[in-house]
């Protein structure tokens, strides 16, 4: 076979083909070899005619140049963009046509924040309805109007109602995580404040854009400015410029000077940050910038600017002007709002953001607290008596009921639930918890004879109420009978600072008192002497101040097996649309005491209510402790009843403004189990009615005694005596700072020996003035040297320091 070129066809050849005119430069193309003969010169299926060009400049044809490809891609992109633009234009037109500008009258409802009870439907308070007065623009001074324009939107009368640069800047900040300052026009601000939420998101900005444009088309600039000035929140509960003028300067909006108007203009951006009472330097700096802007716009001459002086501002108004109820529930609202502020919410968001705030406070429990106080503190009781009740859910930390006094806002409003008062013997459970942690069981015996002197207070003996002595009572017996000498000595033994640590962990109290009252305790260490900062053994019988809410939380820690949960007033927060902004998840808490310690403290407290004649209905099990703080041998200043079940912990305090003697309608001394106990008992019975009964511990878990115990008595001896027999002064062992190793020693018998039987309950309050009716044999004349807050008349922490020989009595 003759050789041939691979591209030469082997089949018969027809006449040569000519390419169509104008293609290939007149040159013919040789078809590619198909690998087989084509009869009659036919082409294989799918082959292209000679001289044709593959689509897209494929192999065998001319390729597009890069310039051609770029032009083609550009045409496609432009066509796509044009299509999208048309679609967007249609979308914008439809949205604009369907967007309705809300009636300005709806603004007030949109801005009002509402506080609810725990059910989320029953209103407790409405913030924003109170301090608001709408005025026409003609009744706002020109100087004040110009000041607001200078601060917020100098081109207001010439702009289209929106600021594209502000929208782009806000969008960029959302992407980059920068400042959320929007730089919006007054029209946009009005739309945001009046009809939208304050969140900085793309969707909200998009809504703002359409509403602002349509608003600008439907209303005149004067109408928009008027509505804006009547809507804006200026702080201190003032909505609108008329209320602000009255709140800050005591004048009407028509009387505002340019300088006063500039003060208010500064507040528009951030009322809480630029209130001159809280940030005088920052407020005055921005005030000067506003005046400079007014000069730039020709709204003030330079001479007027140079002569301007920052105007005096009125002090903050009473809470009654801020929409807070004047009844007892009004004291709940500030606690809830303070909690929100602690979570980062601003005053403007809280009061003018249309929030829906659901608290943990149960309406039925709150009503039960108010009713219990009213039923016990009847009109015939002395006028100087004050009381507080705080009830906490140990499982969540949620405050279920909160009574701090009858006046919630305005004149006479004092929150006694936050008052700092000496707890007396209601402090003893923390001493027991510390001893238990050191291996000292509730059945360990200690010297409870009275009187006794201790090394840390020579010449100042500690006594039990009524002259009672018990030379070898178990700690559980001494708790039930509230023997001061036993628990003073026990605090000295285990270490007063250790008792303090236990109490702080259980209650969540801070290391130092916050500076909130202006009293002498502000800034001083908690549970310590405010002058020396030291904690002595008198902590064991309640010398150092606590608040009712602290005791409710501390006893809740025992109820929850040693798990501490901070008290909370907020359950959830939503906006006006129902979107959840904040929700308290299940509070796991922190294990601050061992479960065994909490078990045994509860076990030791189970007999107190019955012994104090404050048992709950149907024999419901409850752990409790009374407490009484004495002024002297004849009078008391404070009385407590604190107790819990696994589902509710309630503290009740009773006292007076300052440290006046507290006596009942029959002029008898008030003890913890008296009027406070009656309030506690009625509240607990009411709020627990119909709920399942809950078991408390049946036995202690910690056995033995690693401390300085005493032997059980072997001979009969009376447990009471009309006159106390002086006991020899013996030095108690030095305090320890470390917990000893646990012991496996078997526990002491839980039943008192025949010679140490617990006496029958003492007569009810007043029937036996020498015996503390709340525990029968509690401690009178115990601490010596009680300290008070000295905060001044009307202060819940006391008008004067208590006498230097203040004594806990039970």
Helix (H/G/I), strand (E/B), else coil: 451: coil
Catalytic residue among 163, 184, 419, 425: 425
**CA–CA separation, 226 and 223 (whole Å):** 5
Q: By the 8 A CB rule, do 407 and 413 touch?
A: yes
Q: How many CB atoms lie within 10 A of CB 485?
A: 29
**CA–CA separation, 233 and 267 (whole Å):** 8
Among this protein's residues, is 199 annotated catalytic? no
Question: Which residues, 6 or more positions from 623, have their beta carbon under 8 angstroms from its beta carbon?
Answer: 555, 558, 559, 601, 602, 605, 606, 608, 609, 643, 644, 645, 696
Strand partners, 239: 132, 233
Question: Which residues, 6 or more positions from 149, have their beta carbon under 8 angstroms from its beta carbon?
Answer: 156, 186, 297, 299
Among this protein's residues, is 425 annotated catalytic? yes
Helix, strand and coil percent figures for the chain, each rounded to 5? 35, 10, 50
**Which conformational region is residue 314 in: left (phi greater than 0), alpha (psi within -120 to 50 degrees), or beta?**
beta
Sign of the dihedral through C-alpha 234, 235, 238, 239: positive
Catalytic residue among 152, 226, 242, 545: 152
**CA–CA separation, 333 and 124 (whole Å):** 8
What is each CA distance from 638 to 126, 482, 586, 626, in whole angstroms?
Answer: 35, 16, 36, 11
**CA–CA separation, 222 and 171 (whole Å):** 29
**CA–CA separation, 781 and 62 (whole Å):** 113
**CA–CA separation, 240 and 238 (whole Å):** 6
Strand partners, 808: 629
Give the pair of three-digit tokens for residue 209: 């854009």
Helix (H/G/I), strand (E/B), else coil: 553: helix
Q: By the 8 A CB rule, do 330 and 409 touch?
A: yes
100-109's contacts with Cβ under 8 Å and 24+ in sequence apart are 101/211, 101/214, 101/215, 101/218, 102/194, 102/195, 104/194, 104/227, 104/231, 106/194, 106/195, 107/193, 107/194, 107/195, 107/227, 107/231, 108/132, 108/239
**CA–CA separation, 33 and 41 (whole Å):** 12
150 closest CA partner among 353, 300, 332: 300
What is each CA distance from 232 to 133, 145, 152, 306, 752, in whole angstroms?
Answer: 12, 13, 12, 29, 71
Q: How many CB atoms lie within 10 A of CB 126?
A: 15
Give the pair of three-digit tokens for residue 633: 């041998």
Q: By the 8 A CB rule, do 419 and 548 touch?
A: yes
Helix (H/G/I), strand (E/B), else coil: 402: strand
The residues carrying an active-site annotation are 152, 425
């Amino acid at each position: 076979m003759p050789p041939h070129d691979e591209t030469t066809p082997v089949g018969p050849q027809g006449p040569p083909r000519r390419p169509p005119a104008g293609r290939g430069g007149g040159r013919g193309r040789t078809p590619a070899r198909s690998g087989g003969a084509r009869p009659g010169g036919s082409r294989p299926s799918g082959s292209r005619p000679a001289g044709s060009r593959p689509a897209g400049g494929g192999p065998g044809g001319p390729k597009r140049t890069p310039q051609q490809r770029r032009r083609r891609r550009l045409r496609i992109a432009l066509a796509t963009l044009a299509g999208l633009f048309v679609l967007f234009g249609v979308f914008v037109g439809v949205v604009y046509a369907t967007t309705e500008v809300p009636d300005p009258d709806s603004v007030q409802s949109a801005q009002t924040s509402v506080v609810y009870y725990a059910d989320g439907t029953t209103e407790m308070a409405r913030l924003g309805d109170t301090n608001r007065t709408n005025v026409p623009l003609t009744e706002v001074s020109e100087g004040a109007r110009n000041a607001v324009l200078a601060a917020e939107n100098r081109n207001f009368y010439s702009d289209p109602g929106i600021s594209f640069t502000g929208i782009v800047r806000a969008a960029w900040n959302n992407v980059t995580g920068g400042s959320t300052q929007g730089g919006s026009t007054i029209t946009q601000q009005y739309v945001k404040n009046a009809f939208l939420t304050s969140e900085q998101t793309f969707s909200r900005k998009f809504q703002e854009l359409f509403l602002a444009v349509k608003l600008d088309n439907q209303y005149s600039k004067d109408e928009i400015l008027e509505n804006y000035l009547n809507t804006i929140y200026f702080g201190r509960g003032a909505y609108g410029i008329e209320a602000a003028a009255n709140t800050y300067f005591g004048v009407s909006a028509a009387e505002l000077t340019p300088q006063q108007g500039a003060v208010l203009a500064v507040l528009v951006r951030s009322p809480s940050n630029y209130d001159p009472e809280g940030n005088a330097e920052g407020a005055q700096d921005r005030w000067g910038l506003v005046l400079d802007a007014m000069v730039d716009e020709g709204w003030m001459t330079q001479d007027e600017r140079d002569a301007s002086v920052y105007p005096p501002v009125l002090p903050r108004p009473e809470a009654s002007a801020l929409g807070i109820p004047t009844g007892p529930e009004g004291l709940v609202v500030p606690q809830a709002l303070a909690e929100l502020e602690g979570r980062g919410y601003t005053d403007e968001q809280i009061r003018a953001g249309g929030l829906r705030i659901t608290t943990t406070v149960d309406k039925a429990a709150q009503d039960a607290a108010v009713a219990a106080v009213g039923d016990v503190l009847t009109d015939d009781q002395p006028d100087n008596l004050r009381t507080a009740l705080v009830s906490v859910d140990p499982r969540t930390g949620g405050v279920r009921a909160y009574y701090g006094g009858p006046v919630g806002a305005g004149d006479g409003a004092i929150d006694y639930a936050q008052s700092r008062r000496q707890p007396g013997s209601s402090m003893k459970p923390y001493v027991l918890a510390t001893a238990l942690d050191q291996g000292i069981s509730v059945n360990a015996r200690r010297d409870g004879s009275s009187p006794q002197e201790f090394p840390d207070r020579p010449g100042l003996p500690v006594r039990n109420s009524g002259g009672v002595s018990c030379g070898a009572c178990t700690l559980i017996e001494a708790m039930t009978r509230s023997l001061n000498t036993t628990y003073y000595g026990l605090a000295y033994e285990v270490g007063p600072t250790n008792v303090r640590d236990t109490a702080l962990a259980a209650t969540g109290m801070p290391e130092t008192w916050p500076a909130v009252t202006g009293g002498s305790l502000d800034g001083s260490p908690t549970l310590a002497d405010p002058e020396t900062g030291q904690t002595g053994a008198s902590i064991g019988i309640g010398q150092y101040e606590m608040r009712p809410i602290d005791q409710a939380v501390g006893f809740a820690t025992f109820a929850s097996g040693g798990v501490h949960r901070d008290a909370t007033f907020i359950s959830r927060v939503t906006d006006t649309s129902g979107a959840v902004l904040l929700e308290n998840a299940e509070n796991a808490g922190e294990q601050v005491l061992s479960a065994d310690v909490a078990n045994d403290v509860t076990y030791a407290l189970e007999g107190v209510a019955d012994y104090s004649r404050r048992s709950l209905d149907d024999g419901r099990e409850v752990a409790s402790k009374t407490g009484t703080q004495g002024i002297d041998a004849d009078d008391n200043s404070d009385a407590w009843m604190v107790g819990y079940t696994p589902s509710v912990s309630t503290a009740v305090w009773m006292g007076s403004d300052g440290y006046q003697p507290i006596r009942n309608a029959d002029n008898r001394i008030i003890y913890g189990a008296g009027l406070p106990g009656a309030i506690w008992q009625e509240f607990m019975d009411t709020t627990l009615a119909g709920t399942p009964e809950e078991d408390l511990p049946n036995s202690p878990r910690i056995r033995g005694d690693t401390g300085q115990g005493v032997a059980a008595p072997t001979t009969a001896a009376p447990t009471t005596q009309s006159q106390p027999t002086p006991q020899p002064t013996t030095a108690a062992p030095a305090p320890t700072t470390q917990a000893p190793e646990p012991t496996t020693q078997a526990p002491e018998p839980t039943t008192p020996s025949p010679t140490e039987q617990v006496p029958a309950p003492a007569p009810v309050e007043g029937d036996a003035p020498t015996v503390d009716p709340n525990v029968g044999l509690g401690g009178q004349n115990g601490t010596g040297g009680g300290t008070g807050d000295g905060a001044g008349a009307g202060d819940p922490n006391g008008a004067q320091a208590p006498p230097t020989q203040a004594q806990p009595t039970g």
